[in-house]
Structure 1
Amino acid sequence: MPVFEYTGKDAGGKTIKGMLDVDGVRGLKAALRRDKVFLTEYRESAAKGGKGQKVKAGGEQKSGSREVDVGEWLTSISSQDVSEMTRQMATLLKAAVPLVDALGAIVEQVENPKLKRVLAQVRTDVNEGAPFWRALSVHESVFPNSYFNMVRAGESAGNLDVVLLRLADFTESQVRLRNKLIGALTYPLIMLCISLIIVTGMMVFVVPTITSMFSDMGADLPLITQILIALSAAISKFWWVGVIAAVMGWQSFLRWKKSDVGADSFDRSVLKVPVLGDLLRKIAIARFSRTLSTLLSAGVPLLTALEIVENVVANRILAKVVAEARNAIREGDNIAGPLKRSGHFPPMVVHMVAIGEKSGELEDMLKNVSESYENQVDTRVQALTSLLEPLMIVFMGVVVGFLVAAILLPMMKLTQAVQQGG
C-alpha cells in the first residue's frame, strides 16, 4: 500500500502533519476522518515510488500539469462576489435545501471562475463528511477568519441560514463603506493626474520652444518666467533622477512601514492628522463595532470574537487596544475599561459598551454604535468630497494661471517695446 504524507486540521483548527500507510486517497481521507482530522493537502511519499506531487484535498495539483483557465487567471474574488454567494446560500438553506445540494446549485450559478472552483472544492469536502466551516477554512484568502468562525457557530447552534444572512449583511456593509471612500477619492485623484500630465507636457514640450524664442530676441525676462524656464530645464534634463528618487523613496517607506516600529509610528501619526485622522478613527470604530456585533450575534465566544476583530482593525494602535480588551476579559475584567484608558475611543462608545456589558445586550449596543459611526463616516465623506472638488479646481487654476502668466508677461513686454520703438 502507498504511503501518504498529509496535512490536515483537527477539530480546534490546529494544523496536523503526518504519514499514513493506506489504500489510496479515499482510505487516507477515511482514516483521518475517524481521527476527526480534516485533510487539506496530501502527496504520495517519494520513498515508496510516488511522484511526490503535492495535491489539495479537492484534487487540484500544485504542479503545472493542470490546464490553465485564462478567464480564472484574469479574475479575482471580490467581497461583493462572496456577499452575493452567501445570501444565495442563506436563501436555499432557509428553504430546507440540503447543504450539499445548495452548494451544487451555487456552483452552477456562480459566474466568477475562481469562486466556482473554490465552491466546487468546498462541496466535495462537505460531501465527504467535513463540516462546512472547516471546508471553508482551507480557503482563508477567500473566506477570512471571521467568516468561517461565524459559520462554525451557526452550524453548532443549528441556525446556519440565519448566520449566513447576517454574514451577507455584514459583508455588504463593508463593501458599501469601501465604495464610498473610493468614490470620494476618485474625482480628486483623476483631477490631480490630469493636472500633472498637462503640466509635465507643457514643461517638456511647450516651454523649451518658447524659451528658445525669448533667447533669440535677447529680452529681459520677468522673474516668474525665469522660474518656469529653470523648472522646465530641470525636468527635461533630470527627470530620471526624480523617477529613481521617487521609486527608492517609496520602497524605503514601504519597508519602514512593514517594520513593527514603522507601522506603529505611522498608524499613531495618521490618527493625529487633522480631518483625516478623525475620519480614519471613525472608520476603525465602525468596523470594530460592526464586526464584533456580528460575531457575537452569531454565537462566537467573546474571546474568539475579540481575537478576530484585532486582525480586522487596520490601525495597529487601535488593534492593540482590542488586544488589551481581550486580555482584560481573560482576567475577568470588562471591555469598556481598556477602551476608555486608551483615549482613542470616544466617551459615547465606551459608555454604550459598558451599558451593553452590564445589561447582557452587548451585540445590540455595538450594532447601534456601528450604525451611528457608519452614518457619521458617510456624512464626513460627503463633506470632504464637497470640499475637495473646489479645492482641486482652485489648485488647477493656480497652476494654469502661473503657466499663462509666465508665458504671456514677456510677450506683453516685447509687444510694448516694439510699439514704443515704432
Structure 2
Amino acid sequence: MPFFAYKGRNARGELMQGVLEGADSGAVADQLFGTGVTPIEISLTTRKSAGGADDSLWQRLTRKRVTSLDVQLFSRQIYTLLKSGVPIMRGLAGLQESATNKSFARVLQDLRESLDAGRELSAAMRRHPECFNAFYLAMVRVGEMTGRLEEVFLRLFDHIEFDRDMRARVKTALRYPSFVIIAMIVAMAVVNIWVIPQFQNMFKTLHAELPFMTRMLIGTSEFTKSQWPWFATLALAAFVGFRKWTATVNGRLRWDRTKLRLPIAGKIVHKATMARFARSFALSIRSGVPIVQALSVVAQTSDNAYLSMRIEQMREGVERGESILRTATNADVFTPVVLQMIGVGEESGSLDDLMDEIAMMYEREVDYELKTLSSQIEPILIVFLGVMVLVLALGIFLPIWDVGAAALRH
C-alpha cells in the first residue's frame, strides 16, 4: 500500500504530522479520526517513515540515542495508560508528544503508524531492535496472546530496572580500580619519557659505574623513547585484532568463557549474568511463556555467549524430555544450593517463585562481592605500587648515595 504524509490537529489543537500507510487518502483520514487527530493536509509520499529522510547529516550524527531508561519509562507509562483504560493508539500519541528524547519520539511515531497499518504491537516493535530486544518482544507477544499486556509492561519495567541497577553497580565498583590502573600506566610513561632522562644526564657527569637497577631503568627509558611508534602501532593493532576476534562467534565464545575465569571479576560477571537469567526466566514463566520458548528467549538476551550456549543446551535437554533439574546440572553453571532450589520448584510447580528467589540470592552475592571488591583489589595495587616505587628509588637514588658516600670518604 502507498504511504501518505499528513498534517493535522489533535484535541488540544497541537499540530501533528507524520507518514501513514493506507489504501488511499480517505483511509488515512479515517485512521487519523480514529486516533483523535483532525487531518488538515494529506498527500502521497515515497517516504516510509516520517522525519528521517529530511534530516541533515549533522542532525543524524548528533541525534541522541534511545537508552534503556527511555524504554523503562515507556514500559511504566504505557502500563499506567492501559490500566486506566486509555486506548493504545491514544496512549502512544500522548507519549510521543511528551517524549523528551526526540529519537524515541520517532520510534513511538513509527509504532503508531505500524498499528494504523494493521500490524500487531510486537511486530511494530520488531522494526526497532536497537530499542526492544528479543526478550522484550517475546514478552509483549505473550501479553498480546493472553490479553494481559498491561501486566506484562509492568513486569518489563521491573525487569529493566533490575538489569540497569545491576549493570550500574558493577560499573561503579570497577571505576576506582580502573582509575588507579590507568593512573599507574600514565605515571610509568611519564617517568620513562621525561623523568629518567633528566637523571641520566646527571649520572653522565659522575663518570662512575652505575648500579644494575639504574642501568636497567635507563635502558628501558631509551628503548621506550626510541621505539614508542612501534609500541603505539602494536597496541592499536592488538586492540583492532582483539575487537575483530571477539566479533566472531568462536572468538566471543572463548573470550566470554575466559571472563568467567578471571581471578576477581570472573565470579562477579558470572553471578550477575545468572541473576539476570533467573529473573528473566521467572518473568517468562509467570507470564505464560512455555519453558522451552522461555529458555530460548532468555538465552538470546544473555550478554555472555558461553552462558548463553549453556542455557541453549538446557533448552535442548528439555525438548528431549529431560527435567529442568537434570539439564541445569549438566549445564554446570549453577551452585548445588541453586540446583536444589530448582528441583524443589520443579516438583512443587512453583518454579517461577523459586527462580525469583535464586535471582535475589545471586543479587545479594553480587552486592557483597561489589562491596568487598576494593578490599580485594587494594592489596594487589599496593604491592604493585610498592614494587614500582622500590625499583624507581633504587635505580635513581643508589648512584646518588654512592657518590655521596664516596665524597664523605674523601
TM-score band, normalised by the shorter chain? 0.7 to 0.9
The offset of 1:69, in angstroms, is 6.4
Q: Which amino acid letter does the alignment assign opposite residue 303 of structure 1?
A: V
Q: Give secondary structure in 1 for the equivalent of 2:22.
A: helix
Cα distance per residue 1:204-247 (max 9 Å; x no partner): 11211210111122122222211111111111100111122222
Change (3 A) 1:69 1:299: farther
Structure-2 separation of matches of 1:350 and 1:266:
26
1:377 maps to which of 366, 388, 396: 366
The aligned residue for residue 321 of structure 2 is 332
Structure-1 separation of matches of 2:307 and 2:216:
46
Q: Give secondary structure in 1 for the equivalent of 2:333.
A: coil
The offset of 1:394, in angstroms, is 4.1
The offset of 1:74, in angstroms, is 4.4
The offset of 1:248, in angstroms, is 2.1
Structure 2: which 5+ residue stretches go unaligned?
Answer: 4-19, 28-43
The aligned residue for residue 103 of structure 1 is 92
Q: Which amino acid letter does the alignment assign opposite residue 304 of structure 2?
A: N
Q: TM-score, normalised by structure 1?
A: 0.81
Matched, 1:184 2:153: no
Matched, 1:123 2:123: no
The aligned residue for residue 11 of structure 2 is none
Change (3 A) 1:124 1:322: same
Change (3 A) 1:29 1:255: farther
Structure 1: which 5+ residue stretches go unaligned?
Answer: 6-23, 32-49
In angstroms, what is the RMSD of aligned CA positions?
2.8
Matched, 1:289 2:285: no
2:266 maps to which of 270, 277, 284: 277
Structure-1 separation of matches of 2:312 and 2:190:
51
1:173 maps to which of 162, 171, 195: 162
Q: Which amino acid letter does the alignment assign opposite residue 86 of structure 2?
A: V
Cα distance per residue 1:310-356 (max 9 Å; x no partner): 11223333222222222222233322212112322222222222322
Change (3 A) 1:314 1:25: closer
The offset of 1:174, in angstroms, is 0.6
Q: Which amino acid letter does the alignment assign opposite residue 207 of structure 1?
A: I
Matched, 1:213 2:209: no
The aligned residue for residue 249 of structure 1 is 238
Q: Give secondary structure in 2 for the equivalent of 1:27.
A: coil
Structure-2 separation of matches of 1:29 and 1:328:
54
Q: Which amino acid letter does the alignment assign opposite residue 189 of structure 1?
A: S
Seq. identity, %: 29
Structure-1 separation of matches of 2:250 and 2:358:
31
Change (3 A) 1:114 1:61: closer
Matched, 1:395 2:384: yes
Q: Which amino acid letter does the alignment assign opposite residue 175 of structure 2?
A: T
CA contact under 8 A between 1:90 and 1:161: conserved in structure 2?
yes
1:361 maps to which of 316, 328, 350: 350
- Tell me which moved more, 129-138 or 372-381: 129-138
Cα distance per residue 1:123-146 (max 9 Å; x no partner): 222244332222111101110111
Q: TM-score, normalised by structure 2?
A: 0.84
Structure-1 separation of matches of 2:26 and 2:391:
76
The aligned residue for residue 197 of structure 1 is 186
Matched, 1:410 2:399: yes
The offset of 1:402, in angstroms, is 2.6
Q: Which amino acid letter does the alignment assign opposite residue 136 of structure 2?
A: Y
Change (3 A) 1:30 1:214: farther
CA contact under 8 A between 2:76 and 2:154: conserved in structure 1?
yes
Structure-1 separation of matches of 2:273 and 2:24:
45
Matched, 1:345 2:334: yes
Q: Give secondary structure in 1 for the equivalent of 2:403.
A: helix
2:130 maps to which of 116, 141, 148: 141
The aligned residue for residue 23 of structure 2 is 27
Q: State the aligned residue count.
A: 378
Q: Which amino acid letter does the alignment assign opposite residue 220 of structure 2?
A: L
Q: Which amino acid letter does the alignment assign opposite residue 26 of structure 1?
A: G
Q: Which amino acid letter does the alignment assign opposite residue 338 of structure 2?
A: V
Structure-1 separation of matches of 2:25 and 2:278:
40
